[in-house]
Amino acid sequence: MQVRMLSALWAGKITVKLARLAGGKGSSFPGKVALYLFPQALEAWAQKLNSRIIVVTGTNGKTTTNNMLASIFSSLGYRVLTNREGANLASGLASAFIRSASWKGNLSCDWALLEVDEAAFSKVTAHLKPAVVVVTNFFRDQLDRYGELDRTVSLVKEALSQLPPTKLVLNADDPLVVKLADTSHPVLFYGIGVPVRAGKEEESCREARFCPYCGRELQYQYYHYSQLGAYYCPGCGFARPPTQVEALAVRILDGHVSCQVRVGDQVVDCELPTLGFYNVYNALAVFGVGMWLGLSPEVIARELGRYVPATGRLQRFVHRGRPVYLNLVKNPAGFNETLRLLSMSSETKDVFIALNDNEADGRDVSWIWDVDLENLLPRSTVLSFVCSGRRAADMAVRLRYAGVPLGKIEVLPRLEDGVRTTLGGRGKSVYFLATYSALWPVEKLLRRYGKEERDADRLPSLS
């Protein structure tokens, strides 16, 4: 067994080097090679950590939450193993272990912090046996791959029930996530305890209209976006549970967010130099993990203010003096929040949307019709839309049905043509929105044409 493990490790390490020489990142394929040679590799490496593993899963917010945790743990002096690039299937996790291991198979880390795809959660966690599991939310995502949302929730719940004692950090504002508390594990809930947004929430992509126990339609005292909010069932009494970590006050100024957070009996102020209301949830999940592990809330708040985002999580560049933002969009809930972010700015802007249908994106792109473009699109401030990628024409049709004038839409399927044209626009800022398989190529092009600002606005994201 030791010989097979080392052979798989060496093959993986060599593949990492070859991938980087070829201009890749080696974030997934090396792990695929290692697991082919030794399918038990994940379990063998995880055993070396003696359960010092934290897993983050859910539809949106995995990458940002996990990378926030990695940043904080590193600042506290822990040696961290993590899949920072967001490669969250078994092959991506194996690649993270390969990069951290020595050629002799020793792991130079104190904690493994791993985001795990919700569809792969049941297979992966059986090998990892994590000490803490964070579940962010559940939204419709790649229906051709995941199937119905209820099935995904059920698979995660079943996998949790089969784990040895594990601490859970669950989003109290999502009724689908709260269902997972029915397992025998100790649970810590986090959520936003006050209404933040005025006006009526769009209902087009609310995932959990009905009580998961009795089937009655859920009622809301207030909601934040999609199905997240303070819900209750008038039939059986199911309701948002009491929280141990809660945002007591949330302030949004020009898209940037600050909040007051209660962690147990302690209250701290947290300034998030980020764009996007949804980042409050990512931060609260981090406070939840910290509470389980006894980390100082003040230290967590301080380090969150220093966080630098991963690729495509509202990553900021500069091109000819203009701010340029790159963000991943992959499902209706996330796309809607990105549109809200665009609406907060009154300055003119050019928008690029790359829509692909590769395996990593999901073959079915019909989800774009569930995005609330009709109500959320900032029509007056967007000067141009450039549609790119394999399904650029589909995106252009969706924009036309949302009422965008034909003269504002340009279809350029080739990514390089689309990026160059968008950067040549007249807006005061530029937004690049891309599905997963288009994200890295677009980022590479933006690095070529512009300069990334690592220390200006640090911008974590929903995904």
Contact 34, 96 (CB under 8 A): no
State the CB neighbour count (10 A cutoff) for residue 108.
9
Q: Is 371 strand, coil or helix?
A: coil
Which residues on neighbouring strands pair with residue 232, listed in sequence order?
A: 219, 239
Tell how strand 245-253 and strand 256-263 pair up.
antiparallel
Q: How many CA atoms lie within 13 A of 231 on its CB side?
A: 30
Q: How far apart are the first and last CA of the chain?
A: 37
Q: Is 205 annotated as a binding residue?
A: no
Q: Which of the following is catalytic: 364, 370, 372, 394?
A: 364
Dist CA 384 CA 418 (whole Å):
12
Q: Is 387 annotated as a binding residue?
A: no
Please, which residues have CB within 8 angstroms of residue 463's CB and are 6 or more apart in sequence?
60, 61, 62, 63, 64, 86, 312, 313, 328, 330, 334
The sign one gets for the Cα dihedral 242, 58, 26, 387 is negative
Instruction: Examine the residue annotation and report whether 364 is marked as an active-site residue of this protein.
Output: yes
For the record, the structure tokens of 32 come out as: 């695929």
110 class by beta-carbon count within 10 Å (0-12 exposed, 13-18 middle, 19+ buried): middle
Mind giving me the DSSP string for 393-448?
HHHHHHHHHTT--GGGEEE--SHHHHHHHHHTS--SEEEEEE-HHHHHHHHHHHHH
Does an H or E element contain 215, and which? none
For the record, the structure tokens of 85 come out as: 């690039």
Token pair 């359960």: residue: 51
For the record, the structure tokens of 91 come out as: 């092959």
Q: Is 214 annotated as a binding residue?
A: yes
The string over 210-227, giving b where at least 16 C-beta atoms fall within 10 Å of a residue's C-beta and e elsewhere, is ebbeeeeebebeebbbbb
Contact 118, 138 (CB under 8 A): yes
* Displacement of CA 71 from its chain's centroid (Å): 16
**CA Rg value for the chain:** 22
Of 165, 162, 431, 163, give the one whose Cα is nearest residue 323: 431
Of 100, 80, 129, give the one whose Cα is nearest residue 27: 100
Please state the residue numbers annotated as binding site.
Answer: 211, 214, 233, 236
Catalytic residue ranges: 364
Binding residues for Zn(2+): 211, 214, 233, 236
